């Protein structure tokens, strides 16, 4: 009898998202963080599955996760050939989550800027009905700790622009701490997303709002990393602004224009290579 009561209590304490959740952790050179991050996620209630999408990190991050995956069926690794960008890492992770029938697909950084213990709050909001839950720094109760002034300004400007240029209502549309419902990922045409890097987050938020999905922001405290280095570059920052302009002026023939720039660049490369051929 006592055993039965314990079993019922245990079932009652199981979160509703139990065994239905995958968390994608994109990595590039995160060997100082990844082991502790995967362990923290696996220690959460609800048997949260972890997928690390590693872009051939030269520091051996991928091999560290391989080791963990060999003794834990809830840990998965996707090895990609080289640094292909944060946005495409998310896309690859979504494809894995959909193919493996997860209901909730979350994303978070490897560097502990996103607290793994805050993940259940995002999942609770998703299981209460949100299609996209954003762990937000810019709603009451949310904050940023330890960021240099420059990063704060770039983030603030990008979010203001997303609001004024694109009409995005989400206060933190550059946040990478998220939970997506399966139905949303099945509906959004992920192949149509042109952003390959950090600006994927802005584009995805814009598309989710455009499609009328329910987006909920849960306040989080974002803490600047203490281990390893940030991978964001000035090019990524410029691309975020390009993304917003491109989305705003989507009627323009952007694919054609980008194609022209690429083929010019390739021709120039080809010419340089031919000039360098030794005879």
Ligand X SMILES: Nc1nc2c(ncn2[C@@H]2O[C@H](COP(=O)(O)OP(=O)(O)O)[C@@H](O)[C@H]2O)c(=O)[nH]1
Q: Using CB under 5 A as the criterion, which residues of the chain lie in contact with Mg ion when the complex forms? A: 109, 111, 113, 225
CB of 54 to ligand X, least distance (A): 6
* Member of 22, 24, 50, 85 binding ligand X (CB under 6 A): 85
CB of 63 to ligand X, least distance (A): 15
Do the Cβ atoms of 165 and 243 come closer than 8 Å? no
Tell me how far apart the alpha carbons of residues 17 and 207 are, in angstroms, rounded to a whole number.
25
Joined together, the tokens standing for residue 100 give 């493996």
Residue 86 near ligand X by CB under 6 A: yes
Residues of span 25-84 touching ligand X by CB under 6 A: 26-28, 30, 53-55, 83
The residue among 73, 52, 75 whose CA lies nearest residue 62 is 52
Residues of span 217-236 touching ligand X by CB under 6 A: 225, 230-232
Q: Report the 10 Å Cβ neighbour count for 16.
A: 13
Q: State the binding partner of 163 from Mg ion, ligand X, none, CB within 5 to 8 A by kind.
A: none
Residue 263 falls in which region: left (phi positive, over 0), alpha (psi -120 to 50) or beta: alpha
Q: State the binding partner of 89 from ligand X, Mg ion, none, CB within 5 to 8 A by kind.
A: ligand X
Residue 113 near ligand X by CB under 6 A: yes
| Number of residues lying near ligand X (CB under 6 A) | 19
Residue 110 near ligand X by CB under 6 A: yes
Residue 11 falls in which region: left (phi positive, over 0), alpha (psi -120 to 50) or beta: alpha
Q: Report the 10 Å Cβ neighbour count for 143.
A: 12
Residue reference for tokens 């065994």: 19
Identify which of residues 152 and 211 has a Cβ nearer to ligand X in the complex.
152
Identify which of residues 151 and 163 has a Cβ nearer to ligand X in the complex.
151
Q: State the binding partner of 172 from ligand X, Mg ion, none, CB within 5 to 8 A by kind.
A: none
Burial of 219 (0-12, 13-18, 19+ CB in 10 A): middle
**Which residues of this protein are in contact with ligand X, per CB under 6 A?**
26-28, 30, 53-55, 83, 85-86, 89, 109-111, 113, 225, 230-232
């Amino acid at each position: 009898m006592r055993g039965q009561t314990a079993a019922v209590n245990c079932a009652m304490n199981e979160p509703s998202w139990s065994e239905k959740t995958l968390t994608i952790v994109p990595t590039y050179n995160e060997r100082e963080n990844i082991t502790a991050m995967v362990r923290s996620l696996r220690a959460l209630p609800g048997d949260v599955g972890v997928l690390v999408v590693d872009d051939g990190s030269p520091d051996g991050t991928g091999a560290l996760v391989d080791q963990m995956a060999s003794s834990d069926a809830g840990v998965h690794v996707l090895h990609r050939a080289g640094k292909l960008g944060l946005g495409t890492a998310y896309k690859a992770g979504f494809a894995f989550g959909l193919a493996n029938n997860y209901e909730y697909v979350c994303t978070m950084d490897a560097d502990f800027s996103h607290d793994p213990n805050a993940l259940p709050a995002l999942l609770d909001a998703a299981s209460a009905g949100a299609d996209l839950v954003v762990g937000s720094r810019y709603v009451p109760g949310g904050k940023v700790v330890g960021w240099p002034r420059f990063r704060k300004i770039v983030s603030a400007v990008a979010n203001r622009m997303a609001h004024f240029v694109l009409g995005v209502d989400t206060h933190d549309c550059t946040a990478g701490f998220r939970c997506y419902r399966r139905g949303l990922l099945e509906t959004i045409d992920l192949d149509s997303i042109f952003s390959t890097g950090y600006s994927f987050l802005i584009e995805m938020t814009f598309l989710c709002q455009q499609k009328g999905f329910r987006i909920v922001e849960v306040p989080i405290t974002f803490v600047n990393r203490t281990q390893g280095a940030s991978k964001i570059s000035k090019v990524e920052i410029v691309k975020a602004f390009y993304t917003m302009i491109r989305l705003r002026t989507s009627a323009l023939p952007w694919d054609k224009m980008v194609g022209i720039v690429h083929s010019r660049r390739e021709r120039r490369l080809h010419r340089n290579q031919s000039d360098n051929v030794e005879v």
